[in-house]
């Protein structure tokens, strides 16, 4: 006879249920208390605003612009950061040269570079991408160096024994060995890219979610502000989830 | 195929690392590894056997001494010359954890730009030879220690090396598999004709597999004794019942025991 697993509370539903309760209390509470929408709109109003943003507000275009800037900066930084990180991790000379620059530039809050970057690149896409890339670059390069340093010496010897050139060792041993560490750097970087782009859009841009958010606030469309915040939350969540999935796929061997 | 002889000439090696006092691992070791023969190195743990293999393979430079390779050329003269291929089977396996068994075994051929088709064909063959057929798609983390060791063995064998260096290649195998793999290796060296250098801590293994045994002292490793193993080939495991086998075993054990005691005393 097959034994059934004993019945247990099905925990995964706890979160969604709590959220529904929260939304209902929010909705009903505001109706009863008669708080004006200007301060705090009800969830149904926010949903309505979100719907209108998509159907009439052209928010999809802004979403596209923002994603373009986020990923532009992210991939630019990922590419430069990983390559430089591997070279720095494997060459002590290059490490000595670059380390001092990193040590000086890393602590600068990247958002404080906005005025300078605008002078250099204007306030368009290029500026946004460079700003995001600057924010992303450091966690990527630092984590890559760390991963490279942790590479098991035995693996390098084994590869050399099998006839690997120094170049092959770099790209077929050291790089894959560093991938888990690189991925944790990329995870941090993506979060930073989102923050950078939205913040910069709020400061200067005409298009993009940040710009729309800023505009909605200025014209006191609180419902729209909430709708865009909701959109940003979903966006951030989806990007993180997607990244986790890729991470798991690539890290199959770690089981 | 050329058969290569390896000569170690007054090799000493001192390890230096940042936060440890320097260790003299091996001290003035001179020995010969005859061409086409199996030479076993036995010695107490920590006496520098793995270090010596690294030096023989040319992966680290000894602080003193030199390694030479010689072979007999077409006109029968013995000349100096390094072999085209050497392969090492590592005590700690050193498999690439993100590669499957198949891709680990094919790694050396991939580095040499052998076509995908050819290297996979050869890798499949080597995987079968170490009895791992069916595990091609597994990752090292999904295998037992003994299986990983056999992947390491296949990875070396697939390169058809002139000189094969084995660092305790059967240490992680269970008793039955070990005997089986030892017989396989005996058959391989009898037919393939290569120079094999085998590090082991098992005297039985050394006597069973080799033509020549070098016993090392406790650290710093020196050559304590050398002994030829004139047992007939081909050898099967039954050779262990041969009275000459136990005589050789006892003889080597007597030397080794003194060294092991010394190494335990510190
Ligand atoms: N990479 C290394 N760095 C520093 N010391 C080492 C290193 N490898 C081995 N040693 C030291 O050299 C000595 C001999 O080690 P090893 O050659 O591994 O011995 P064996 O293989 O005979 O057990 C040991 O004392 C060990 O600690
Ligand atoms: Mg060892």
pLDDT tens across A152-161, in order? 999 999 999 9
Q: Domain count of chain A?
A: 1
Q: Which two tokens stand for residue A69?
A: 């800037």
Backbone dihedral angles phi then psi of residue B8, each to the nearest 5 degrees: -105, 125
Say yes or no for a CB contact (<8 Å) between A162 and B139: no
Where in chain B are the domains? Answer: 1-84+206-266
Q: Is residue A148 a part of any domain in this protein? A: yes
Q: Contact at 8 Å (CB) between B227 and B215?
A: yes
pLDDT > 70 fraction of chain B, expressed in percent and rounded: 99
- Selected for mutation to probe chain A from B55, B60, B91, B94 (highest A CB count within 10 Å) is B94
> How confident is the model over A193-218, as pLDDT tens digits?
999 999 999 998 889 999 999 999 99
CATH number, domain at A78? Answer: 1.10.3720.10
Q: How far apart are CA A76 and CA A206, in angstroms?
A: 23
User: In this structure, is the dihedral angle defined by the CA atoms of residues B131, B99, A89 and A247, taken in order, positive or negative?
Assistant: negative
pLDDT tier for residue A2 given thresholds of 50, 70 and 90 = low
- For B123-140, the pLDDT digits (tens) are 999 999 999 999 999 999
Range of the domain at A150: 59-250
Cβ-defined contact of B112 to A163 (cutoff 8 Å): yes
Q: Give CA torsion, residues A95, A96, A102, A105, to 10 deg.
A: -160
Cα separation of B78 and B74, whole Å? 9
Instruction: Indicate the DSSP class of residue A135.
Output: H
pLDDT at B174: 87
- Residue B67's contacts (CB-CB under 8 Å, 6 or more residues apart) are B6, B7, B8, B9, B11, B55, B56, B58
B260 falls in which pLDDT band (50, 70, 90)? confident
Chain A residues whose C-beta sits inside 8 Å of any chain B C-beta: 152, 154-155, 157-165, 168, 172-173, 176-177, 179, 252-255
Q: Is residue A112 one of the residues assigned to a domain?
A: yes
The CA distance from B29 to A46, in Å, is 82
CB spacing of B140 vs A253 below 8 angstroms: yes
Which of B17, B53, B58, B96 should we substitute to test contact with A (largest number of A Cβ atoms within 10 Å)? B96
For residue range B89-107, list pLDDT tens digits in order: 999 999 999 999 999 999 9
Which chain A residue has its CA at the smallest distance from B91's CA?
A154
Annotate A145-175 with DSSP letters as a single string: HHHHHTS-HHHHHHHHHTT--HHHHIIIIIH
Q: B53: helix, coil or strand?
A: helix
Whether the per-residue pLDDT at A147 is higher than 70: the answer is yes
B153 Cβ under 8 Å from any chain A Cβ: no
Contact, A82 vs A140, CB < 8 A?
yes
- Between A163, A177, A253, which is nearest B139 by CB? A253
The predicted structure's pLDDT at residue A3: 64
Residue A163 falls inside a structural domain: yes
Model confidence, pTM: 0.86
Q: Which of A116, A139, A124 is nearest to A193 (CA)?
A: A139
Is pLDDT at A77 greater than 70 in this prediction? Answer: yes
* Six-digit token string for B60: 């680290």
Q: Does A216 map to a domain?
A: yes
Ligand 2 centre and the CA of B88: distance in Å?
13
**By CB neighbour count within 10 A (0-12 exposed, 13-18 middle, 19+ buried), where does B147 fall?**
buried
Of A159, A165, A176, the CB nearest to B98: A176
> Nearest Cα to B168, choosing from B152, B187, B144, B191?
B152
Express each pLDDT in B150-194 by its tens digit: 999 999 999 999 999 999 998 888 888 888 889 888 888 888 889
Contact A154 B92 (CB under 8 A): yes
Which residues in chain A have their CB less than 8 angstroms from residue B153's CB? none
- Cα separation of A167 and A160, whole Å? 11
Do B54 and A158 lie within an 8 Å CB cutoff?
A: no
Rounded to whole angstroms, the Cα distance separating A162 from B112 reads 9
Query: Is the pLDDT assigned to residue A5 strictly greater than 70?
Result: no
How many whole angstroms from A156 Cα to the centroid of ligand 1? 17
Residues in contact with B125: Cβ distance below 8 Å, sequence separation at least 6, in sequence order: B158
Pocket probe for ligand 1: among B16, B19, B22, B25, the residue whose CB has the most ligand atoms within 8 Å is: B25
Question: DSSP alpha helices (H): ranges in B130-202?
Answer: 145-157, 175-192
Predicted confidence (pLDDT) at residue A187 exceeds the cutoff of 80: yes
| Distance (Å) from CA B46 to ligand 1 centroid | 6
Q: Is residue A203 domain-resident?
A: yes
Classify domain B1-84+206-266 by CATH architecture: 3-Layer(aba) Sandwich (3.40)
DSSP per residue, A181-208? HHHHHHHHHHHHHHHHHHHHHHHH-SSS
User: CA B178 to CA B168: how far, in whole Å?
Assistant: 11
Q: Would you call B99 an interface residue with chain A, using a CB distance cutoff of 8 Å?
A: yes
**Sign, CA torsion A86/A91/A92/A94:** negative
Whether residue A46 is contained in a domain is answered as: no
Residue A3 lies in a domain: no
pLDDT tens-digit map of A7-46: 666 788 888 899 999 999 999 998 898 888 888 999 999 9
Residue whose Cα lies nearest atom 9 of ligand 1: it is: B51
A74 domain-assigned: yes
CB B85 within 8 A of CB A161: no
């Amino acid at each position: 006879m097959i034994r059934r697993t004993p019945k247990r509370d099905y925990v995964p539903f706890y979160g969604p249920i709590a959220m529904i309760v929260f939304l209902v209390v929010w909705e009903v509470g505001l109706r009863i208390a008669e708080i004006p929408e200007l301060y705090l709109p009800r969830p149904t109003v926010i949903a309505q605003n979100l719907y209108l943003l998509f159907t009439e507000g052209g928010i999809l275009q802004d979403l596209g612009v923002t994603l373009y800037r986020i990923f532009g900066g992210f991939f630019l930084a990922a590419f430069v950061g990983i390559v430089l990180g591997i070279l720095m991790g494997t060459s002590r000379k290059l490490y000595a040269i670059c380390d001092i620059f990193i040590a000086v530039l890393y602590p600068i809050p990247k958002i404080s570079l906005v005025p300078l970057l605008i002078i250099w690149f204007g306030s368009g896409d290029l500026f946004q991408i460079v700003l995001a890339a600057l924010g992303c670059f450091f966690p990527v390069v630092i984590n890559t160096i760390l991963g490279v340093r942790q590479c098991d010496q035995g693996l390098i010897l084994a590869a050399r024994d099998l006839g690997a050139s120094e170049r092959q060792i770099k790209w077929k041993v050291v790089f894959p060995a560093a991938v888990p560490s690189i991925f944790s750097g990329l995870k941090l970087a993506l979060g930073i890219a989102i923050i950078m782009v939205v913040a910069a859009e709020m400061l200067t841009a005409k298009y993009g979610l940040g710009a729309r958010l800023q505009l909605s606030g200025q014209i006191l469309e609180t419902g729209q502000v909430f709708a865009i915040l909701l959109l940003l939350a979903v966006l951030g969540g989806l990007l993180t989830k997607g990244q986790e999935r890729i991470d798991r796929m690539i890290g199959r061997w770690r089981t | 195929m050329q058969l290569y002889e390896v000569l170690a000439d007054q090799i000493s090696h001192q390890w230096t690392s940042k936060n440890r006092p320097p260790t003299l691992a091996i001290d003035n070791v001179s020995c010969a590894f005859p061409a086409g023969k199996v030479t076993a190195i036995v010695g107490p743990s920590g006496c520098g056997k793995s270090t010596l293999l690294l030096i023989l393979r040319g992966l680290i430079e000894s602080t003193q001494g030199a390694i030479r390779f010689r072979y007999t050329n077409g006109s029968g003269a013995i000349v100096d010359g390094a072999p085209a291929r050497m392969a090492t089977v590592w005590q700690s396996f050193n498999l690439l954890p993100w590669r499957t068994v198949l891709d680990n075994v094919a790694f050396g051929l991939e580095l040499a730009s052998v076509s995908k088709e050819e290297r996979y064909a050869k890798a499949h063959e080597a995987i079968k030879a170490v009895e791992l057929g069916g595990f091609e798609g597994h990752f090292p983390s999904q295998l037992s220690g003994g299986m990983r060791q056999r992947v390491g063995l296949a990875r070396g064998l697939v390169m058809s090396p002139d000189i094969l260096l084995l660092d305790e290649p059967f240490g992680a195998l269970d008793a039955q598999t070990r005997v089986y793999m030892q017989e396989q290796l005996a058959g391989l060296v009898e037919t393939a004709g290569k120079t094999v250098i085998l590090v082991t801590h098992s005297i039985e293994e050394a006597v069973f597999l080799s033509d020549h045994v070098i016993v090392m002292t406790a650290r710093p490793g020196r050559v304590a004794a050398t002994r030829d193993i004139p047992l007939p080939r081909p050898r099967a495991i039954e050779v262990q019942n041969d009275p000459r086998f136990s005589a050789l075993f006892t003889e080597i054990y007597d030397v080794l025991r003194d060294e092991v005691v010394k190494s335990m005393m510190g």
